[in-house]
Amino acid sequence: MSGFFSKQRIIASRGYNRWMVPPAALSVHLCIGQAYAFSVFNDPLTKVIGITEPAPDDWKLTTLGWTFSLAIVFLGLSAAFGGKWLEKVGPRLTMLVAACCFGGGFWISALGIHLHQIWLIYVGYGIIGGIGLGLGYVSPVSTLIKWFPDRRGMATGMAIMGFGGGAMIGAPLAVLLMDHFKSATSVGVLETFLVMGSLYFVSMLIGALTIRIPPNGWKPEGWTPPIIENKMITKSHVHIDRALLTPQFYLLWLVLCLNVTAGIGVLGQASVMIQEMFKGAVTPAAAAGFVGLLSLFNMGGRFFWSSASDFLGRKNTYIIFFALGAVLYASVPTMGRLGNIGLFILLYAVIMSMYGGGFATIPAYLADIFGTRYVGGIHGRLLTAWSTAGVAGPVLVNYIREFQIEQGVAKAEAYNVTMYIMAGILAAGFLCNMLIRPVHEKHHMRHDEFDELDGVFPHQAASDAH
């Protein structure tokens, strides 16, 4: 079993088409992206006993809210701690474990509903499912970068776009299944969890079985690395543990954290914000449509901006995110005052595309700065920035809004300060990005340094190239 799933068994033979790798990565990311649609289960889960109305013993929304928070925390932790293991065992075994955890998380949660034990849902979807999320998220990244040295941004953008698309599949699928299984004695969530867990397990397993890694030193036929030296793209490799000793790692951590904090903070408030800023003009159904539109731009931005970064350069792409983002955030209050809803939607759409773009471009940025050898593991460790922002962003926006309202500011005006603070956060991100320089040579792996994860010396890896 371990032999079949080992790294050695998945080295591609000559003639393998590298375009098989992005759909293998998408098979995983389209599943785990479901996490962002977990809220569709909230309402039915508060009626598991009462069926039509919440019964006194039914779970409260606040109790259920911990499930998603736990999943996001364990996503960050498993990506951070599992990244080095991923580099050692390869993407197939990592994807298999991710499939077992994510699918198994649904099944354990179904048992939790059957026994009406909330801790089983916390452990199932929150902890075990969260581990599946983290391992699944990072597992194909370094493989894609190695297969597409000519288009690193586009390759990782395709997979990470899948994470954005996963929620778009997960939400209607869950609604469809719950409607199908709903009866006089069941809200249909238990059965939906069993079916979705099985579907996701199989789909992720297909990804695990089809993914291949390129032989060491492989490059696309007819492609030669650019002759003009770009100092921001290293040809060396920085060891996964050594990366933590460089200022570049922490600057990139801040770049991701600040970009996500600003985006996630306003994304969670988008529906309420548009209704309060354009009172009477926007119905709750239209506001839900606005959130749907934003998720489309969030997903599209992941592919668009990461692909564009292959031409613009990674640093320049983040300069655009932070500079243009700060201007757009600061313009939102003016758009609200002018009552121009069309421009307001357009501003938000561009902001959300850059929020998604920030997620999708970071792996290629890491590969440029630290080399490709350990990029999966380094990316995993950097994802703790996402977990941090996932907590900080909404808390910051809610706190500022409440504070404003307590001070007597009108609800429609209460978002203005928030938007200016978010613009300030992006300005700080701009500075961090500007400080990023190539990693000092002393951190590069030596030519004769043994690579404990691959079991080879760098010069051996180079000689394997064909």
Partner 1 sequence: MKPDDRPKSTPLALVILFWLYVATPLTWGIWSTLKKAMALFN
Please pick, from the candidates 5, 7, 10, 24, the single residue that binds partner 1 as defined by CB under 8 A. 24
Tell which one of 5, 7, 10, 30 touches partner 1 (CB under 8 A): 30
233 three-state secondary structure: coil
124's CB contacts (< 8 A; 6+ apart) are 104, 105, 106, 107, 108, 109, 110, 111, 112
| DSSP, residue by residue, 378-421 | HHHHHTHHHHHHHHHHHHHHHHHHHHHHHTT--TTTHHHHHHHH
What one-letter code names the amino acid at 96?
Answer: L
| Contact call for residue 295 and partner 1 (CB under 8 A) | yes
| Start-end of H helices in 60-151 | 61-89, 91-115, 118-121, 129-138, 141-147
Q: Of 117 and 283, which CB lies nearer to partner 1 in the complex structure?
A: 283
Closest distance between partner 1 and the C-beta of residue 212, in Å?
10
**One residue of 1, 2, 3, 19 binding partner 1 per CB under 8 A:** 19
By the rule CB under 8 A, 184 interacts with partner 1: no
Q: Which stretch binds partner 1 (CB under 8 A): 7-15, 39-47, 140-148, 258-266?
A: 7-15
Question: Do the Cβ atoms of 154 and 109 come closer than 8 Å?
Answer: no
User: Site for partner 1 (CB under 8 A): which residue of 157, 165, 265, 358?
Assistant: 165
Does residue 345 interact with partner 1 by CB under 8 A? yes
Say if CB 423 and CB 232 are below 8 A apart.
no
Give the per-residue contact string, 208-237, with partner 1 (x = CB under 8 A; - = no). --x---------------------------
| Residue from 44, 134, 136, 162 binding partner 1 (CB under 8 A) | 162
Phi-psi region of 339 (alpha: psi -120 to 50; beta: other; left: phi over 0): left
Instruction: Output the smallest distance, CB 466 to partner 1, in A.
Output: 11
The set of residues, in sequence order, having a beta carbon less than 8 Å from that of 420 and lying 6+ positions away, is: 329, 330, 333
Residue 290 within binding range of partner 1, rule CB under 8 A: yes
Q: In the set 209, 293, 343, 456, which binds partner 1 (CB under 8 A)?
A: 293
Which residues are at the interface with partner 1 (CB under 8 A)?
Answer: 13-17, 19-20, 23-24, 26-27, 30, 162, 165, 167-172, 206, 210, 282-283, 285-290, 292-293, 295-296, 299, 345
